[in-house]
Amino acid sequence: MPTIKKKYKVWDTENYFIEAIIENLWWENIINEFFEQKITLIVNQIIENTKNKNLRNKISISILFTGDKKITQLNKKFKKINFPTNILSFPSGQNINTDNLLNNDDFVNFLGDIVISSDTLIKEANSEKKIPIDHLIHLFIHGILHLLGYDHENSCEAKVMETLEVKILKNLKISDPYIDNT
């Protein structure tokens, strides 16, 4: 994937602050007005469906939109796996009791970092006959849920996380990504 001079984007509303670094041309085409409009709907759906106390105050997330080379380096360094993946999530590990913040409306709860590979996303979307923007939205939801503590290390955890993802995607009018379309 051709690289570009890194671009920096910020999405800032009363519910979230998301900062992103965009590292290749494919992301330039897909992170357009449509995705930007969907971010608010996605975050609102996550807030509505998880009832997570970390979402009571404004949240902050950092995203790196990159390719397989960079995500492989990060996967190797942090997960000891030497191949690319579609998404990596790095929760901040903050366990802040927001009830003790004296209702400080300016408080922002940093959830963590997400890294998404365009190369793997495109390969998966093509092989699984998914619409790339829908797959991106699914991965974005998946990443935020990881930042909130959801996981899929065992079948019970996976069932909870996947059920929540499917529910949120359905509310966004995106089909179930776990149904085999091949």
More confident residue, 24 or 87: 87
The pLDDT-based confidence of 182 (bands split at 50, 70, 90) is: low
Do residues 178 and 162 make contact, with C-beta atoms less than 8 angstroms apart? Answer: yes
Burial string for 97-129 (b: 16+ CB within 10 Å, else e) reads: eeeeeeeeeeeebbbbbbbbbbbbbbebbeeee
Greatest pairwise CA separation for the chain in angstroms:
52
Q: Which two tokens stand for residue 72?
A: 């492989």
DSSP string, 74-109: HHHHHH---S--SEEEEE------GGGGTT-TT-EE
Which residue matches tokens 């001079």?
Answer: 5
Do residues 19 and 41 make contact, with C-beta atoms less than 8 angstroms apart? Answer: no
pTM confidence score: 0.87
Query: According to the model, what pLDDT value does residue 75 have?
Result: 95
Residue pLDDT, tens place only, 19-40: 999 988 778 777 776 777 788 8
